[in-house]
Structure 1
């Protein structure tokens, strides 16, 4: 079984398209980071004079200087610390009302009462959410769409099914090899992401600060209303594990579609439609989902992106039970995953003819 899994993993990794895609995506990611954020990114010296509890005096200084200071790339760090103080000042929090997708007022479980430097974590989290999901979707499609469909196209499926290990162990080996491939892809992108931003900032300061205070310079406080009491590094690990689980779930769906498809091209098109259309419509183009909100809420890209699962304390009433969005999403994905795995075994064992 181990040798069979190794062989299937080798088949996935030796596709030329995999190496080309990895090289292009990682080069594009690195260039994008350096071109979008040129120059030094370390702003610790600007935050040091203000670190600690947000006082009335700090708020007054921040507002006075923000009124005089016009944002530019050159003063991004100075503008950022003043903006952070203004955003999290007690007066601003008291007088600002935010609403979720259903029109309900967002409640703060954790109040940010201090100003701390944690910008490296804001960028690390942001780029798993934005570029990490694109990287993983492309790599999973290229690597896993052909896993079963290729056997049909080459005419080897019937031969494999008639072999000693063709009825069950072969499918298990393909599953394990596919999961290993996904883990390798996640580790690769995460490693590059960490290395790039460690080099850009020169540090990973603020790991012990609350996730609610983490953001990029002067914007993108994605977790300001999060109900979860994580530090930056704790949430980074949660995000990473959830990102991996999401990639595995999508991988199971891709494998099921591959088992149903006559060619790799067909499998690729169907999977692109399943994950790509909702992601493009709701996450990239930001279209109003209207009555299709459930597709946006329970799309496969949501769990790969992670962010929306931990942002706000949204709850749903299901048969009288109050479930958080995270809990409900987990249940739905678990049912889909179990169904996809079971269906893949049945399909590959029984289906003989593909048109």
Structure 2
């Protein structure tokens, strides 16, 4: 090969295209090996069936129709002191056996929602006043002052966030995002699909042959990682699409996307909001996007852990068990009441909390990072980003070491 050929831009481009094609071939082959497993489709079908069965057990209640327009017109929007007084009077009448004129069948639930929204509004107002008093007693350069100031600033941005909003469809969407059981469903799909990725090569005695090929080194690990990411993205999108369709059909739409998250659960059929004191000034759609992003990131980093276990153990069942234990152990610790000392950090900074997202945005929680208060979810994401980089390096190192040993 002459020097002129090597320096020729067209020749370089052809070589680059040829290299990319070879890499794409390996990537497609790895994707095929994952997606051709019948077990993932069986598990996905079972999970879809569970979602449908769970929603069918609750009678459908369309809320975006003409029958609720009067209710929304009367009570919809931010809560006021006048609204709170009216609903409390009507609640007293109902407790006494009296029924206000023209009472909507579910208006009693709405009364509780508005009363709860007013209580949350007053509690947030008191919290802001307490923070102001606390700041006046602290030294401005102290860490405690920075924490109080950050929390106060976040609450100030929230504004008039409490009230009655029709967000039933979105409530169902978040019911799939956050509960422990739903996280387990997503985790099982990841475990079933990725546990065999490296382990199967050893089980089928293909590892030696693969390691002897030109793709047996770093390219093969990269292809498997990319195929794993593709698989996680596919099941993640599929599950959430199924869940979205179910709730659009059940409730007749996804209105209320612009409602503040502090009133996310304060609606027709639920009057307690876990986000009633949340310091995040997001509407429902923004919050849904944020939680989806965090959960997808959590799914990816957990998937990398599964791949590493598959490579190190060389057994799909062992990789499945170890990865599952790493995910579930913090939850078990919490349920057993062992969340003390270091165990408190183990449960707070875990794959489960990252994928679950439930505790990340409910209240103000910050950690001291070099004298700067950093929000809990930011610390958690950064920590697992670093852990995943280390785990990925371990994956490449383990694979390379295995080749040298072979």
Decide: shared fold, TM above 0.5.
yes
User: Are the counterparts in 2 of residues 212 and 226 from structure 1 also a CA contact under 8 Å?
Assistant: yes
Q: What is the 5 A alignment of 1:299-338?
A: 299-338=350-389
Structure 2 residue matching 1:307: 3-state secondary structure: coil
CA shift at 1:319, angstroms? 3.4
CA shift at 1:83, angstroms? 1.5
- Of the three residues 107, 125, 128, the one matched with 1:78 is 107
Residues 244-267 of structure 1 deviation map (CA, whole Å, 9 limit, x = unaligned): 111001001111111111211111
The whole-number CA distance in structure 2 between the counterparts of 1:77 and 1:191 is 30
Stretches of structure 2 that go unaligned for 5 or more consecutive residues are 1-22, 96-103, 128-146
User: Are the counterparts in 2 of residues 222 and 307 from structure 1 also a CA contact under 8 Å?
Assistant: no
Indicate yes or no: 2:302 matched with 1:236: no
User: Are the counterparts in 1 of residues 210 and 216 from structure 2 also a CA contact under 8 Å?
Assistant: yes
Residues 274-310 of structure 1 deviation map (CA, whole Å, 9 limit, x = unaligned): 002223443xx47451221111111101111122222
User: Are the counterparts in 2 of residues 167 and 349 from structure 1 also a CA contact under 8 Å?
Assistant: yes
Residues 45-76 of structure 1 deviation map (CA, whole Å, 9 limit, x = unaligned): 43332113423332123223334558xxxx98
Over 3 Å counting, the alpha-carbon distance change for 1:113 and 1:275 in structure 2 is closer
> Which residue number in structure 1 is paired with residue 55 of structure 2?
33
- Of the three residues 26, 29, 41, the one matched with 1:19 is 41
Residues 164-210 of structure 1 deviation map (CA, whole Å, 9 limit, x = unaligned): 11111110010000000000011111101110111111021111111
Higher gyration radius (CA): 2
- Of the three residues 188, 191, 197, the one matched with 1:141 is 191
Stretches of structure 1 that go unaligned for 5 or more consecutive residues are 99-103
The whole-number CA distance in structure 1 between the counterparts of 2:246 and 2:221 is 38
- Of the three residues 176, 188, 198, the one matched with 1:127 is 176
User: Are the counterparts in 1 of residues 330 and 346 from structure 2 also a CA contact under 8 Å?
Assistant: yes
Q: Which has the higher helix share?
A: 2
The whole-number CA distance in structure 1 between the counterparts of 2:124 and 2:188 is 43
Q: What is the 5 A alignment of 1:1-355?
A: 1-35=23-57, 37-42=58-63, 44-45=68-69, 46-67=71-92, 69=94, 77-89=106-118, 93-94=122-123, 109=155, 110=158, 111-130=160-179, 131-215=181-265, 217-282=269-334, 285=335, 287=337, 289-291=339-341, 292-351=343-402
The whole-number CA distance in structure 2 between the counterparts of 1:91 and 1:255 is 44
Over 3 Å counting, the alpha-carbon distance change for 1:248 and 1:95 in structure 2 is closer
Query: Which stretch of the first structure deviates more once superposed, 314-323 or 107-116?
Result: 107-116
Structure 1 residue matching 2:227: 3-state secondary structure: helix
